[in-house]
Structure 1
Amino acid sequence: MPFPSLGDALTVAQRAMDLAVHHALSHRPTHITTKGDRDVVTNIDVAVENLIRDRLSDWDPAVGFVGEENGASGDENTYWVLDPIDSTINFSHGSPLCAIALGLVHEDQPVPGITAVPFLGHRYWALTGEGAYRDGDPISVSTTARLRNALIGMCDYGSGPDASTRDRLCGDLDQRLTGQAQGVRRLGTTALELVWVADGTLDASILFGNRAWDTASGAIIAREAGALVLDADGSPHSTRSRCTLATTPALAEALVPMMEVARNTTYWPQPAGTQ
């Protein structure tokens, strides 16, 4: 399919995000359904996904779409990817720490990304090669250079079928970071952590896992703000990566070796052609 104009894609994505943010702010969750181990979905997740999917499909139906709640359709090489509410558990408990994350992926890399944080009143976005922005103002990562001065976001412990492996990895890394970093925070929302790395609120974010709806928009925003966004072995991050490490560059030397805890697990990058 012809590749869409990135500027046009960002414009239509912003308009779709306007609708999503308005809906999230003006409606309360009235139906909360369990969809897995400690994983829930609300009527707001579903409504936001449908709003955005319909608006983007009207613009260019040839572009594929992957949503957390309703799955994938259309082109598998160029597609929108959406988490309608990242951290539905936070949202359902009334916490403002949740986000709407929308990216356009082409050949395994996000090219524009938009992350709205409705209950904190911010919106972040980026285009490849054009920098990252919060509410229209340019942003950049922190200048923190030493782990002892760093505030680091970490993913939740495990749930679902691989819970025991992720619990072990999180426990090992948590123990090491708690003894060496200034602080470790578990926010429950990867999409928010990644944009907080982009604007310097956090110095790094570590996720054992890589679901594109959680990471695509934040990955390009963080990268365009000057972060290194990497897989567990330090290779460049893509939608095929097994882990997600976003860090201010000066901390990579300290953090990448710590990701070795994931070696010989499903969270370690696999040879090409075996994924």
Structure 2
Amino acid sequence: MPTYDDDLRLAHVLADAVEPTTMGRFKANDLVVETKPDLSPVSDADLAAEELIRTQLKRTRPRDAVSGEEFETTGHGPRRWVIDPIDGTKNFVRGVPVWATLIGLVVDEKPVLGLVAAPALNRRWWAAIGSGAWTGRSLSSAKRVGVSKVSRIRDASMSYGDIEDWRKIGKRRELLELMDDCWRTRAYGDFWSHMLVAEGAVDIAPEPELAVYDMAALVPIVQEAGGRFTGLDGRDGCWSGNALSSNGLLHDEVLSRIGSTAGSGTLPLG
């Protein structure tokens, strides 16, 4: 099995480099926010952060392709970095600290490495295939994380995506019934729901609508923590247009209740 230690160190270097840009614009009075064609917000911080990461990758990994939320895919080949400069832009622009830079590496269409850097929460999570899942502020101060052992829905804690998006895919009623049967439900939001699954603090995290760049970095972290990460159609990885992460023990039952084939199939990376 190939190792990705050098790539993981690079991901941390990239996160270190972009943090002054994102934190410098967080809660800035002159933050510029525009609306993209899909009606989602984009700030000047999103654009600057992705440009910075792409510049660093062009210098350090010139043979690798790069896909991101804000710009066109560059390069081609079996190795592709997938970047979301600020996951949780709506939180970012409102001053809510739940946002993160997501840095993923996909090799031969398989997510093999992920780093989630949430500087306003003073947290990072990361993993590479075969290396376990970790959290901390740096590689030198890390704690290994693992999923929970909860095996019954009635004992489970679930973090869910926007209720309106569940209505759009025709699963609102099924989601609400599942929520009623869980021990506890909260909407922690975006990347954080899935990182809490990896830590064992949450047992189930379904999301009805996501892009590849929202998920690529999350998949290895949840998997290396001992959990599962699939689409609502049950397909492993980040290719279904939606997601379910769990501790694994509850995964099949949740899919049987809220799963669907509503994803758009194989989604392009960029």
**Which category describes the TM-score, using the shorter chain as reference length?**
0.7 to 0.9
C-alpha distance in 2, partners of 1:206/1:232? Answer: 8
Equivalent residue letter for 1:80? W
TM-score, with length taken from structure 1: 0.86
Equivalent residues in 2 for 1:62-211 (5 A)?
A: 62-75=63-76, 77-135=78-136, 136-157=142-163, 165-166=168-169, 168-169=170-171, 171-189=172-190, 191-211=191-211
Q: Residue 19 of structure 1 aligns with which residue?
A: 17
C-alpha distance in 2, partners of 1:132/1:248? Answer: 13
- Determine helix, strand or coil for the equivalent of 2:197: helix
C-alpha distance in 2, partners of 1:5/1:114? Answer: 15
Q: How well do the aligned residues superpose, as a CA RMSD in angstroms?
A: 2.1
Q: Residue 267 of structure 1 aligns with which residue?
A: 263
TM-score, with length taken from structure 2: 0.88
C-alpha distance in 1, partners of 2:40/2:188? Answer: 15
Matched, 1:248 2:251: no
- The structural deviation recorded for 1:210 is 4.1
Q: Is the 8 A contact 2:230 2:238 kept in 1?
A: no
Compared with structure 1, are the counterparts of its residues 225 and 48 closer, same or farther at alpha carbon in structure 2 (3 Å cutoff)?
same
What number of residue pairs does the alignment pair up? Answer: 257
C-alpha distance in 2, partners of 1:157/1:45? Answer: 26
C-alpha distance in 2, partners of 1:44/1:154? Answer: 27
C-alpha distance in 1, partners of 2:37/2:181? Answer: 34
Q: Residue 139 of structure 2 aligns with which residue?
A: none
Identity among equivalent positions (%) equals 28
Deviating beyond 4 angstroms after TM superposition, the runs of 4 or more aligned structure 1 residues are none
C-alpha distance in 2, partners of 1:173/1:206? Answer: 12
C-alpha distance in 1, partners of 2:72/2:207? Answer: 22
Compared with structure 1, are the counterparts of its residues 95 and 247 closer, same or farther at alpha carbon in structure 2 (3 Å cutoff)?
same
- Determine helix, strand or coil for the equivalent of 1:250: coil
C-alpha distance in 1, partners of 2:210/2:179? Answer: 23
Equivalent residue letter for 1:215? M
C-alpha distance in 2, partners of 1:70/1:37? Answer: 14
- The structural deviation recorded for 1:268 is 7.1
Q: Is the 8 A contact 1:13 1:56 kept in 2?
A: no
